[in-house]
Chain A
């Protein structure tokens, strides 16, 4: 789809922004370019729509050298989103979004109709259409930026740190929204960020750049975490990449045991008879209600009379990752994670030790359960590990964006998780 062939960008002052880059980006996927500042990731992005002209090599789009097309014409066919949105302050939101259709000569009425559809698509109320950019929050402006880029329904979208200027909560919303949109639109997206968490959350494939404009590794997020090509990549993806990898393991494969589960109508005596420190009270549909500490139980009565300790959170076998399961275990008062099925009924419990044992097995043999078509034929760049060359397993659909529990990137479980060091413990390097 987008192919870089030995592309370099040198500046007259002697700096090399991009050095002999060869890379092929698959159609219909999100490729994230990530790296420290000055690594040439933005330059690489901007060479796709000729905002920067390469000094050597060729960039081609759908097999055609992009220099065959006049730059303005090329750019009208490629969506472009930048960090601070870059909205036109003198135009209404609607007319901002209508920019490219108007440039293409669609006529005002048709262009505005299209713009109104796009505003709805990115989740902005129609009442915003007549406002001006200064009246919008940063997050809303960025949504408008995305809508504007989609103006003429371009197959390719270039996004240069689109979410880095907003606060973390809004960023999370925008990322989720972005993944939802992509599921609908299937654009070929090149996305630049300096944030490895964002790269892992959003990317189907990730290209890690090192200073001097050299490609360090091009791989799926999962393989990047499992098999960093070298110390630079290992350092860049961070110390807790073992934990992060758990985001790619489906919770459905984890071993659960029945455990101390009792209906809330059960007697206190029955709870004691289980000989466990904690029992989990469930309702008639086996939905979890809360934990009861056996030591604190009254002499008689049923569990319904007891003040139950809150669950912390449960994890869903239907959609959550192993990372959510481990987090649930660490936060649970009983230290037992409660797994529920799609209906919310308790499927079983497991503690952190049991989970980590299972994860050690599953993370070495990655699950090939993903439902996206393999992006495997994406060219593997020089410098990737030999093992990575097979690039067999796509990252899986990058998260059910609507569910915050699915792919936690908050690092909450962090390094605090007892005894849960990944099978390939992170190498040295100070992280990001």
Chain B
């Protein structure tokens, strides 16, 4: 109990000390770096995951390949990948982005595929029978119906990316991971805990953003049906 209170006090002290909010090593700058890594990786992952997921879900072709690929990608250790790419490509943002994209693609891809693939065949048949073209079936029926799952995939990916982007600090890059890595090497626990707290807070914000997004874009007809079953 005392420990916990101590730690909270440490975090409080650290967060409120004015030097944390200025300069290259301040929270705003590190947060911006962190968000840049996370945002870019998520963007690339979303482009790859959504495109593939929609394509495979819509056509039904390559479903097995997608599942296998996604599972393989999931097994890759992110940290190992970062070190590997840094060794091969030298110190830059690229290895971090590659690793984070590799981490984020599987949940987006699998959920998008499942969402589109899982659309009731009767509904798809009706859509086609009404005279919708393939694109119209995809955009007017399959995507709206798959939205809850697509958003779930994006959320899982986003939270994983935000949490894992701390590894960028290991090969000497920025981001919120800097506080943790530097704190550990300097035995500065105030720094470690403070940095971790900011990462956790960021993950919670991401979660909240996606909850709001879901409210805004998923049809009430689907939300109610989902909670009913």
Contact = CB atoms under 8 A, between A and B. Distances in A.
B144 interface: yes
B122 A89 contact: no
Counting contact residues on chain B (CB < 8 A from A), the size range is 20 to 34
B123 A89 contact: yes
- Which of B123, B133, B224 has the most chain A CB atoms closer than 10 A to its own CB? B123
Given A90-B144, A132-B224, 17 more contacts: A51-B128, A72-B132, A75-B128, A80-B126, A82-B122, A86-B125, A86-B129, A88-B145, A89-B123, A89-B219, A89-B221, A90-B145, A90-B222, A103-B132, A132-B220, A134-B225, A145-B126
Contact of B125 (A51, A73, A103, A134): A51
B126 A100 contact: no
A83 B224 CA distance: 23
B77 to A, nearest CB: 39
Interface string A79-99: 010111111111110000001
Contacts of A100: 130-131
A75 B131 contact: yes
Interface in B41-96: none
28 contacts: A72-B131, A75-B128, A75-B130, A76-B130, A77-B131, A80-B126, A82-B122, A84-B122, A85-B122, A85-B126, A86-B123, A86-B129, A87-B126, A88-B127, A89-B120, A89-B123, A89-B219, A90-B145, A90-B147, A90-B219, A90-B221, A92-B221, A103-B132, A132-B220, A132-B221, A132-B224, A132-B225, A148-B130
B120 A86 contact: yes
Nearest to A92: B221
B141 interface: yes
Interface of B: 120, 122-123, 125-133, 136, 141, 144-145, 147, 219-222, 224-225, 228
Contacts of B127: 86, 88
- Which of B120, B221, B228 has the most chain A CB atoms closer than 10 A to its own CB? B221
- Which of A74, A75, A77, A92 has the most chain B CB atoms closer than 10 A to its own CB? A75
B221 A103 contact: no
Interface residues of A, number: 31
A133 interface: yes
B129 A51 contact: yes
Contact of A76 (B131, B222, B225): B131
A126 to B, nearest CB: 18
Q: Sorted from nearest, which 10 A-B pairs have the closest CB atoms?
A: A86-B126, A132-B221, A76-B131, A90-B219, A75-B131, A80-B129, A86-B122, A134-B225, A90-B144, A72-B131
A103 B131 contact: yes
B119 to A, nearest CB: 9
A132 B228 CA distance: 13
Given A82-B126, A87-B126, A134 B224 contact: yes
B136 A103 contact: yes
A69 to B, nearest CB: 11
B225 A89 contact: yes
Identify whether the interface residues of B are mostly helix, strand, loop, or mixed. Answer: helix
Interface string A58-84: 000000000000001111110010111
Given A80-B126, A82-B125, A134-B225, A88 B141 contact: yes
A263 B128 CA distance: 65
Contacts of B147: 90
A43 interface: no
Contacts of A151: 130
Given A51-B128, A100-B130, A103-B131, A132 B122 contact: no
B227 to A, nearest CB: 10
B164 to A, nearest CB: 33
Given A90-B221, A132-B221, A83 B129 contact: no
A82 B219 contact: no
Contacts of A73: 131
A49 interface: yes
Contacts of A85: 122, 126
A90 to B, nearest CB: 4
A135 B228 CA distance: 11
B74 to A, nearest CB: 30
A308 B129 CA distance: 58
Contacts of A133: 221
- Which of A75, A80, A88, A158 has the most chain B CB atoms closer than 10 A to its own CB? A88
A89 B145 contact: yes
A356 to B, nearest CB: 46
- Which of A83, A99, A148 has the most chain B CB atoms closer than 10 A to its own CB? A99
Given A75-B128, A100-B131, A103-B132, A132 B123 contact: no
A238 B127 CA distance: 37
Contacts of B129: 49, 51, 75, 80, 82, 86, 158
B137 to A, nearest CB: 10
A75 B224 CA distance: 31
Nearest to A80: B129
Contact of B122 (A76, A83, A135): A83
Interface string A107-146: 0000000000000000000000000111100000000010
A162 to B, nearest CB: 12
Contacts of A75: 128-131
Nearest to A90: B219
